[in-house]
Structure 1
């Protein structure tokens, strides 16, 4: 742990790690969201239908759910430096593939594979937790998440301009390829400049990579239950591209995907049993126990926070355009106010969590989030535009501050499993986006906002089950000695 002062203008020690981490995350989000701002140019250049464009948008997020779980485990095992560098380098390949694709199939494969870069977020959560003490952790994780998340807004503003500068019908290709080049170059910078822990600190690794450890019988069954929504969301995505909806795949392929997901869940169940069967015969010593319900509560909260953010960012330009009869460009600029809040809201949520306590901060922000979406459900064409934008920004503050508060708590549960926990919680954010966007395809905007508000109230109820992180957590050193890590004042 680096105990030097927290100085955002510094680029040494832990602050250098924080800055390089958010930069890496920023680049992953630029690459992941480089398609949406150039959507019309891609459609025209490749001669795609509206349904094919929608399919590409779905494929862009499909792989992120399992990717976050996989990358979280790899981070715990091999360390953030190697895993982040590898992710940035490897994911530049499908980015280049997309930039120079000539057919819908080539573009579809590239966008599907690019969903993997959305897992980058998880890596930095573990890295930042290694360098910052508990009383600064929320602020540091908030800056990492908020400034990195801004990559999506930066892509929306810069890439259309870049495409215009290159000009011609291939301008979008060069703009997209530049994001891939950024990712590839920064992979080498990250590898050269980052270390997993401060000098002299131990990087604790989980005993098993195949499944998450739990420390009680009840937690074993809760873990299996919490795995189901991730598989259900992937099944929902398959259903959206099946003949029942946009008919991108055949009925036979749809059923094959369903069967594969069931088989994978059964396989995962067997791995969870293999890793944790000893708890049914030998109790885990109290010093090494942790409560999986903490993870479950954070999963539900991230479903409502980041899940709703991803969904709302996707639909907000259209919502403003239709409600206030704005041009697409004006609607996009107005809607970007929601994403802009990330720069201060997410760090703010982490900072409040550091100062006031993890649980009370989550309670206040989740309640604010629910009320914020209830307010947005009231927006009609009779409102003044600037008041509607202010309502969206107010709601956005609670959403993104809530995300910051969730990930201020994640690293305080079990240090050696931080990547796995962050991976699962992060995946729940994508599960939320899939669920909310699917609901939006069946209901009007007002009902959509009401649904998010109701799930936020459900999150508020589950918060009653969460315990405030207190005291210390124990981690076992390779030589058998125990290190105690502070999680509260």
Structure 2
């Protein structure tokens, strides 16, 4: 065996030095158990990640799949520690049953916060047909106007909540919304007129903006391979609050009636005894047990190695005031500056053409007018807005319209307004499986076909909802049976909620540094859609004897399907394709 020559020794030393130069120093995160380690400010990442040269061919193939968005699902990942993307601190897995894990905590707090917000936001709807309408002597148009007021406020606040999430973090914004929403919820007991009802429902609709914070919070903790699933489960289960509130508020109202209280007082007592305590309790839990970001504080979100890689690739990173203050404090403590101040070495020529995707390195950044214009110029953003306008918009309108439709069609001695409300609540409860399934399928398609797979799934499900609506309208204008109407409601709910779940996995990929802003735009679109559908329902109320009760539904279905069709052009290869 020959001895090592000086030349060999020098080569080995150079190789070792090269490897050492590529190492990323991690800071232990003992203060935030279950969270990923962070990049120490000033760490030299070498500008690009070149660990591939130490991989076998099989390992490279597996890594390529992961880079594309594929991460093999294992049932054990539901309760085992999260597997972390070291570039951004997000989880590749979905450990929802590991309650001590910070990623699981973020998911459940976002979900529960969304749930109680929707429970409170829709609390008026089940009491409106019998209790509130009679007590305040409201006309049918006034009831519709009250429903529209509850949507208008949410659209405005969602547009504000999105940029606020990017600036202050979704955890703080969600807690603030729950606390603010508890105030008008408590004041609902004092309403004595239609004008007062409009005002209270408008301000209660602040709670609807928690959709934005829920999506932004989950997108902050979960990676691109599983973000559709995480957002869909959180959004679907949280949105069930709108269905649960029907049974909960009616049941509470009946208990007060049975206890001897008048209808006038019974419906008023429901608000301070259920929605208000729920909102304040969950807001406290979020502030006490929640974390802003996998890095810990929101001001520390750019301390992962992905930020250093992004800067090395020539991307511009915007720091907000709190981040700059954090780094100035560290500098005063004789620590190096943030990743942007690191001394990067030149990229290895062997790595030419290799680039880490922005979705893997981006962190939420404060929105600017220039960036907002770029977002609004992206047709994929408008696709998400339009599809959510049509699907969630219909859901809010149907939650208000279904109890009245069922009661009008099937009123009898054995079918009361309360029975109609209970039957209508099944529509909202479809969120239990449909939205999560929409997100899971979206992630599976993304792993095989990329963003194109997600978009096809979204467009097909949104278009199908319109077809189901046309079917309901035509059926109701004939001789409808209760079972037939419920089957159409099942089809409408399933297709629409699948589309909602499909939508949730797209904003985090197309605009990863402005997730809150895009979620706010998409969410506001949903409320505008609710106003659109309620306008159609108000213009074409229909009459049972004339067999026109279904007209408003098939008109809404035509609008739905027709509005989705143009976005299929995004799938055509060529000049107008953006996929």
TM-score of the pair, normalised by structure 2: 0.64
* Alignment match of 2:212 (pick from 77, 98, 122): 122
CA shift at 1:52, angstroms?
A: 4.3
Name the CA shift for 1:308/1:106 in 2 (closer, same or farther; >3 Å). Answer: closer
Indicate conservation of the 8 Å contact 1:97/1:106, yes or no.
no
Name the CA shift for 1:212/1:106 in 2 (closer, same or farther; >3 Å). Answer: farther
Where 1:408 maps in the other structure, the secondary structure is coil
CA shift at 1:59, angstroms?
A: 1.9
* Alignment match of 2:98 (pick from 10, 17, 26): 10
**1:456 alignment partner in structure 2:** 560
CA shift at 1:60, angstroms?
A: 1.8
* Alignment match of 2:502 (pick from 397, 405, 408): 405
**2:393 alignment partner in structure 1:** 307
Q: Distance in 2 between matches of 1:430 and 1:156?
A: 20
* Alignment match of 1:175 (pick from 270, 285, 289): 270
For structure 2, list consecutive stretches of 5 or more residues without a partner in the other structure: 1-88, 303-362, 446-452, 543-548, 573-578
CA shift at 1:334, angstroms?
A: 2.5
Query: Are 1:375 and 2:471 counterparts?
Result: yes
Name the CA shift for 1:162/1:327 in 2 (closer, same or farther; >3 Å). Answer: closer
Name the CA shift for 1:299/1:4 in 2 (closer, same or farther; >3 Å). Answer: closer
Indicate conservation of the 8 Å contact 1:73/1:209, yes or no.
no
* Alignment match of 1:323 (pick from 409, 416, 436): 409
Indicate conservation of the 8 Å contact 2:231/2:505, yes or no.
yes
CA shift at 1:461, angstroms?
A: 2.3
**1:62 alignment partner in structure 2:** 152
Query: Are 1:333 and 2:422 counterparts?
Result: yes
* Alignment match of 1:206 (pick from 338, 343, 365): 365
Indicate conservation of the 8 Å contact 1:74/1:209, yes or no.
no
Q: Distance in 2 between matches of 1:4 and 1:366?
A: 28
CA shift at 1:413, angstroms?
A: 1.4
Query: Are 1:292 and 2:378 counterparts?
Result: yes
Between Structure 1 and Structure 2, whose CA radius of gyration is higher? 2
For structure 1, list consecutive stretches of 5 or more residues without a partner in the other structure: 224-290, 469-487
Where 1:63 maps in the other structure, the secondary structure is helix
Name the CA shift for 1:205/1:174 in 2 (closer, same or farther; >3 Å). Answer: same
* Matched ranges for 1:244-255 at <5 A: none
CA shift at 1:51, angstroms?
A: 4.9
CA shift at 1:350, angstroms?
A: 0.6
CA displacement, residues 71-100 of structure 1 (integer Å, 9 cap, x when unaligned)? 111111111111111111111111111123
Indicate conservation of the 8 Å contact 1:297/1:465, yes or no.
no
* Alignment match of 1:446 (pick from 520, 528, 550): 550
**1:258 alignment partner in structure 2:** none
Name the CA shift for 1:121/1:66 in 2 (closer, same or farther; >3 Å). Answer: same
CA shift at 1:452, angstroms?
A: 2.7
Indicate conservation of the 8 Å contact 1:162/1:175, yes or no.
yes
CA shift at 1:331, angstroms?
A: 2.3
Q: Distance in 2 between matches of 1:48 and 1:211?
A: 47
**1:135 alignment partner in structure 2:** 225
CA shift at 1:211, angstroms?
A: 7.4
Name the CA shift for 1:80/1:101 in 2 (closer, same or farther; >3 Å). Answer: same
CA shift at 1:58, angstroms?
A: 2.6
CA shift at 1:335, angstroms?
A: 2.3
* Alignment match of 1:146 (pick from 236, 256, 261): 236
Indicate conservation of the 8 Å contact 2:126/2:421, yes or no.
no
CA shift at 1:50, angstroms?
A: 5.0
CA shift at 1:330, angstroms?
A: 2.7
Name the CA shift for 1:16/1:207 in 2 (closer, same or farther; >3 Å). Answer: closer
Name the CA shift for 1:161/1:323 in 2 (closer, same or farther; >3 Å). Answer: closer
Query: Are 1:37 and 2:160 counterparts?
Result: no
Q: Distance in 2 between matches of 1:454 and 1:378?
A: 12
* Matched ranges for 1:416-431 at <5 A: 416-431=513-528
CA shift at 1:394, angstroms?
A: 1.6
CA shift at 1:416, angstroms?
A: 2.2
Q: Distance in 2 between matches of 1:391 and 1:49?
A: 29
Q: Distance in 2 between matches of 1:214 and 1:467?
A: 23
Indicate conservation of the 8 Å contact 1:43/1:53, yes or no.
yes
Q: Distance in 2 between matches of 1:47 and 1:309?
A: 27
Q: Distance in 2 between matches of 1:448 and 1:43?
A: 23
**1:193 alignment partner in structure 2:** 289
Where 1:208 maps in the other structure, the secondary structure is coil
CA shift at 1:44, angstroms?
A: 4.4
Query: Are 1:394 and 2:502 counterparts?
Result: no
Q: Distance in 2 between matches of 1:3 and 1:48?
A: 51
Q: Distance in 2 between matches of 1:414 and 1:157?
A: 38
CA displacement, residues 199-226 of structure 1 (integer Å, 9 cap, x when unaligned)? 37726343435675233xxx7xxx4xxx
* Alignment match of 1:101 (pick from 177, 182, 191): 191
Give the structure with the larger helix fraction. Answer: 1
Name the CA shift for 1:46/1:368 in 2 (closer, same or farther; >3 Å). Answer: closer
Where 1:117 maps in the other structure, the secondary structure is helix
Q: Distance in 1 between matches of 2:223 and 2:266?
A: 46
Q: Distance in 2 between matches of 1:362 and 1:106?
A: 39
Q: Distance in 2 between matches of 1:396 and 1:387?
A: 14
Report the RMSD for the aligned CA atoms in angstroms. 2.4
The answer to which of 166-175 and 121-130 deviates more is 166-175
CA shift at 1:337, angstroms?
A: 2.3
Where 1:81 maps in the other structure, the secondary structure is helix
CA shift at 1:102, angstroms?
A: 4.3
Indicate conservation of the 8 Å contact 1:125/1:411, yes or no.
no
CA shift at 1:103, angstroms?
A: 4.7
**1:236 alignment partner in structure 2:** none
